[in-house]
Amino acid sequence: MENPARDENKLQLLYTLFCDDVRLEVGNKLSFMGVFQNIMVQQLPVSLIKFAVVNHWSGEGVHLSEVRILTPDRRQPVVVSQPTRFEITAGGFADNVSFFVNVTFPTAGQYWVQTLVDSNLFDEQPLTVSDGRESATEESSESVN
């Protein structure tokens, strides 16, 4: 089923990035620090002190965006951002950055980063959290055989 917000203003999510931090530079440029696609740790649960989800939009209109991260079973939110208003002028682009602080991922698995626009689910991306000790154990047992 198509999202009405998508049709109405031809709103497009061009990309989503996960990174440690985002800074606004001179000339209205964004700098992304520590871009990642998954999280590998030596111990679970793990708490991330700070990270950001960056959404880059095209289209037009005024919208309300919210980002939430769900547990692997999609039943519980790990964290939910405050709704943020963004505006795109005709033919333009907009960046929406959601910062999260002290987020705890209790177990390994594939978490779901969902982007909502005007209270409707617009997109979701997987975020894999893995235990580095498990993969190290698997690798060493494979090399022994």
Mean pLDDT of the chain, nearest integer: 89
Tens digit of each residue's pLDDT (9 = 90 or more) over 63-112: 999 999 999 999 999 999 999 999 999 889 999 999 999 999 999 999 99
Phi, psi of 82 (to 5 degrees): -75, 145
CB contact at 8 A, 55 and 67: yes
CB contact at 8 A, 22 and 33: yes
pLDDT at 10: 86
Tens digit of each residue's pLDDT (9 = 90 or more) over 132-141: 877 655 554 4
pTM above 0.95, yes or no: no
